[in-house]
Chains A and B, each alone.
Chain A
Amino acid sequence: MTAPLRVGILVFPGSNCDRDCHYAVTEVLGAKADFIWHKEPTLPQVDAVIIPGGFSYGDYLRTGAIARFSPVMGAVTRFAEAGGLVLGICNGFQILLEAGLLPGAMLRNRSLSFICKDIHVQVENPKTPFTSRCRPGQVLTLPIAHGEGNYYADQAALSTLKARNQVVFRYCTEDGKVTPAANPNGSLDNIAGIVNDAGNILGMMPHPERCADALLGNEDGRLILLSLLDAIKSGQRSPKPVLAS
């Protein structure tokens, strides 16, 4: 018998979606989850890591800029390099960008407003470990809640992202049209989520954990979290325990 699936959820000072992620993974999806304090230099035996949303270190300097130097991020980097699955949501996405685990950077929302509402994204790439339950082009309704989600990459980085199919989600209208009006924050090319070249690290601004429970009236986020659990089950677990370097 195999051990139950375990998801590690990082906790930084200022994380505020860690418990929502824990609830979605355990209560809604029935997997195991452990909180991992940011001071930990190593990861416990986990099959995937979620970097949750929030305001790590109060967003001081730049979003994610200080969190990326927390001891746990060294362990996450080694885990990801060994093929481990990493999902960064909102502030988690910002931390992955600052850490250089994903290309690009975040700018302040074009409107300068903090935006907290449901938006629509189109699934551009359903062949990732995070989107395998989605149909190509499927439109998902997901909540966003951020002040700095205006994704930027230079032309060379954007060309690479597109050529390698690394753009996973793009903001769109309810009927799946990717238009400037459907772009809530000014993101380059309506980008809402990307994966790294190897495909095992996803960063996304919308919050799947906030819409995984039927009680909340929207379950589109389940598709992403269930895809992640499917990927773990099908053998994309971390290939070996990740030890301190």
Chain B
Amino acid sequence: MKAKVSVTLKRGILDPQGQAVLHALSSLGYPGVKDVRMGKLIELELATNDRAGAEAEVKAMCERLLANTIIEEYRIELME
């Protein structure tokens, strides 16, 4: 099965990249964009079909390496 992990900076932590994109969009004539948050998308191909096991393992990977939980939060999406 596959796992998609998205990692973003936590709310309240300044995201300079997101701010730069927000300003660029505003100057391109999209004043309706209120905020932009940038992040990373990490796709994993897993050698298992055990959903619960995969979820627990990917969560451990996020805690240990894929995200720095001092500044980032992550979301895991599993697909068959």
Centre residue among B9, B20, B66, B71 by max chain A CB count within 10 A: B71
Partner of A105 from the list B14, B17, B40, B70 (CB cut-off 8 Å) is B70
Contact, CB under 8 Å: A107 / B14: yes
- The tally of residues in B whose CB lies under 8 Å from a CB in A reads 12
Interface size class of A (residues with CB under 8 A): 10 to 19
A18 within 8 A of B: no
Question: When the two chains form the complex, which single residue of A61, A65, A104, A152 contacts B13, counting CB atoms closer than 8 Å?
Answer: A152
- A104 / chain B contacts, CB cutoff of 8 Å: 70
A217 to B17, CA, bound (A): 36
Using Cβ atoms and an 8 Å threshold, which residues of chain B touch A154? 70
- B65 touching A61, Cβ below 8 Å: yes
- Given A61-B65, A65-B65, A69-B65, are A108 and B70 neighbors across the interface (CB < 8 Å)? no
> Which listed residue (A61, A65, A98, A110) contacts B16, Cβ 8 A?
A110
| Complex Cα gap A111–B14 (Å) | 11
A135 to chain B, nearest CB (A): 33
What is the interface of chain B, defined by CB distance below 8 A to chain A?
A: 9, 13-14, 16-17, 20, 40, 65-66, 68, 70-71
Taking Cβ atoms with an 8 Å cutoff, the residues of A that contact B are 61-62, 65-66, 69, 98, 104-105, 107-112, 150, 152-154, 186
